[in-house]
Structure 1
Amino acid sequence: MPRPHLRLVRQWVEGGNAYKAELYDHAAGEPLSLTPALTAKPVLTAAWWRGLRTALACLSTLHTGRTAVRQAYLDRAMPKHLAFLGGPLPTVPPAWSTAHGDLHWANLVGPELGILDWEGWGTAPAGYDAALLHVYSLGMPETAERVGQELSAFLDGEEGRFAELVVITELLQSAERGDNVELVPVLRRRAKEVWLRMMAEGAPSY
């Protein structure tokens, strides 16, 4: 897995509060963005993309008791934040796998692939990591198209499209707190595109 090596973990309780500290190797290279959403087109090699596909595929096969996204959250948040779609929300057969959980451009390193910020990893809807990276690329259509092509194995099909709706739900919710407000129009457009496609394909719905 292309991540800094974990060297040391310390946990302690002080003043009634629990603390945990982790010491990692210094990451080689530089983050591809200073923010989760892209502000400039990254220049990435075929080897970088190949490494990312391999990492996501390997990660998805791990078994863990950790959770990145909870079904109860989806049941509560998706109807509320996707109500603007004006119709039934699609569902897919339960398909969950292990994910990084926060795979955006500020957590990816280049020119040699590195993945940072692992504290939130755990189970999530299948395709979640690829969907998150794709959605955070929507402000730069050319890069979004490249992500869609390079990570098509995770994004194509009902499960990948459902994962996009999950991610869009989360970002629309966070926008209500003032995060990435500029993405709201493009998030709503993308949600409509994904939803219409799933409806046309006859995806089961609530």
Structure 2
Amino acid sequence: MPLSVPAGRAVDLRVESVDGALARVERSLQTRIDPNTVVRKRRSVGARTARDTWVRIERRRLDKIGTQGWNGTECAARLQGIAQPEWRGCLVWRGPDESVMWRADETSLLPGRPIGTAVLGEDPELPDDWWKAFNTSLDSLAAQTTNRVATPDTDTITQDLVTESIRSAVPGDFDTTIAQWAPAHADLNWANMTGPVFCLFDWEDWGMAPRGLDSASLWASSLVVPALADRVRRERRADFASRDGKLMTLFACSKILGPDAHPQDPRREPARRMAEEIVQELLQAG
């Protein structure tokens, strides 16, 4: 049977049994899952199949799905000019006695291994060709159109969310209004990209977002390695130089400095310094 727990209890799929969900996916997609390849994350599980594809299974509460649904990987299949896995199909079901839904998306295999964890602890020493493909994909994504709205951390991004997040962690009397919105991956970190061949995956939360969200998110996940964080800022300098990009950098800093952040996060000090610098720039610009 699929995992069944009280709806009010937080679930971490890294420790909960997912045998029932894996068995259901095998039956419905008519393939076998290689148990030696299973990768567990907090709200998702992935594994290789016997037909050389990858299946990602996610559990999400109904109140986190919203009106636009949660078919981000399926919708991303139409995007052009982006290095991403080929989408093959999906399976969706509702858990018994739960206010949650399960979704399994089957895609082609990645061209390499994920670069690291969401927050990287050492320089991956990526080749210049990787950075070129990275920039091409992000620029292509930002140039496209969609009715989807990004849901970073499963929260729909809005002007109010941006303002509240920044105000909760960054002092200063400056305007937080976003001027430019564009399509974004919305979960851009080192766990969702491959190397040495670039590929961007896990598209569940993509949609319209303030300019610079992806660049700022990747910068924040690089702060433990200063040279890498600097490289992200150089590669995406147009985003970071824009007013919206500065606000998104503060938004990323708020995740590290805010009231719910981990007090021992090693990124706190560089995030604090950057936040102070940006606030001064915004105040001077008026």
What interval of TM-score do these two structures reach, taking the shorter chain for normalisation? 0.7 to 0.9
Q: Aligned equivalents of 1:109 and 1:14: distance in 2? A: 32
**Is 2:242 the counterpart of 1:170?**
no
Hey, what does 1:37 align to over in structure 2?
Answer: 119
**In terms of Rg, which structure is larger?**
2
Question: Does the aligned pair in 1 maintain the 2:219–2:229 contact within 8 Å?
Answer: yes
Q: State the Cα RMSD in Å.
A: 2.0
Hey, what does 2:93 align to over in structure 1?
Answer: 12
Hey, what does 1:185 align to over in structure 2?
Answer: 269
Letter in 2 for 1:13: R
SS of 2:266 mapped into structure 1: helix
Hey, what does 1:67 align to over in structure 2?
Answer: 149
**Is 2:199 the counterpart of 1:78?**
no
Give the superposition deviation at 1:176.
2.0
* 1:120-156 CA-partner distances (Å, limit 9, x unpaired): 1111110111111112222211111111111112221
- Of Structure 1 and Structure 2, the greater helix share is in 1
* 1:47-68 CA-partner distances (Å, limit 9, x unpaired): 2111111111111122222222
Question: Does the aligned pair in 2 maintain the 1:137–1:144 contact within 8 Å?
Answer: yes
Give the superposition deviation at 1:97.
0.7
Task: Please list every run of at least 4 consecutive aligned residues from structure 1 whose deviation after the TM superposition is greater than 4 angstroms.
Answer: none
Give the superposition deviation at 1:194.
1.5
Hey, what does 1:139 align to over in structure 2?
Answer: 224
Q: Aligned equivalents of 1:18 and 1:30: distance in 2? A: 28
Hey, what does 2:135 align to over in structure 1?
Answer: 53
Identical amino acids, percent of aligned pairs? 29
1:11–1:97 CA distance, 2 compared to 1 (3 A): same
Q: Aligned equivalents of 1:135 and 1:14: distance in 2? A: 35
Structure 1: which 5+ residue stretches go unaligned?
Answer: none
Question: Does the aligned pair in 2 maintain the 1:92–1:158 contact within 8 Å?
Answer: no
TM-score (norm 1): 0.86
* 1:16-60 CA-partner distances (Å, limit 9, x unpaired): 543321111121211221x21221112112221111111111111
TM-score (norm 2): 0.63
* Equivalent residue in structure 2 for 1:2, among 58, 79, 83: 83
Hey, what does 2:11 align to over in structure 1?
Answer: none
Question: Does the aligned pair in 1 maintain the 2:183–2:209 contact within 8 Å?
Answer: yes
